[in-house]
Amino acid sequence: MNTKIPDAQAITASELELLREAIAESYASRERGRHPFGAVVADENGVVVARRGNNSMPPEGDPTQHAELTAAAEATSKLTAAQLARATLYTSAEPCVMCAGAIYWTGIGRVVYALSEEKLLGLTGDNPENPTFALPCREVFARGQRVVEVHGPMLEDEAADVHVGFW
């Protein structure tokens, strides 16, 4: 079991821009009538290889179509296992348990997220379309056999704005 998860908050200005791209994807999702979440996967050089907005909209849609899960899946078709280990998934909100599992299993080595699960819960309340888990992604990754580096939350206010009035 992996008990050490790096938690350094220092990321570059270009990485903050990639995080803002993930936030922009959350706005695009909302405009399409979907839950406002977005994700971007970039290789070790900061080149975007996948970008996805949320495509799940329970109860009628497929609830597994979260932005992080689908972006991670797309990245696996474009990067080798070694490249995935050096890739970063940027996401508008902290990955849920399902998405953290997808990130882990695809082999992506880093996650940078904007909005914490805790703050998201404050925005969504008890809305049945977003039954938030009180389980930080760091705890999910800590149970695995390999390290997934996590940075976040950051830019929380920017990421929270798209949720105002949605839930």
Let me know if residue 1 belongs to a domain: no
- Catalytic entry in 25, 68, 94, 117: 68
pLDDT digits (tens, 9 = 90+) for 55-85: 887 666 788 899 999 999 999 999 999 999 9
CB 166 within 8 A of CB 31: no
Is 68 annotated as catalytic? yes
Q: What are phi and psi of 146, to 5 degrees?
A: -135, 160
CATH number at residue 101: 3.40.140.10
Q: How would residue 8 be classed by pLDDT, with cut points 50, 70 and 90?
A: very low
Per-residue model confidence (pLDDT) at position 138 = 97
Q: How many domains does the chain have?
A: 1
pLDDT of residue 134: 81
Domain-located, residue 90: yes
| Cβ neighbour number for residue 63 with a 10 Å cutoff | 13
How many secondary structure helices (H) and strands (E) does the chain include? 7, 5
Quick one: tokens of 57? Answer: 């909209």
Indicate the pTM of the whole model: 0.91
* 5 within some domain: no
Domain region containing 112? 13-163
Q: Is residue 3 part of a domain?
A: no
pLDDT of 140 over the 80 cut: yes
Question: Is 103 contained in some domain?
Answer: yes
Per residue in 106-127, is it b (16+ CB within 10 Å) or e — as a string? bbbbbbbbbbbbebbbebbeee
By C-alpha distance, which of 145, 52, 58, 158 is closest to 95? 52
- Quick check: 74 and 106 in contact, CB under 8 A? no
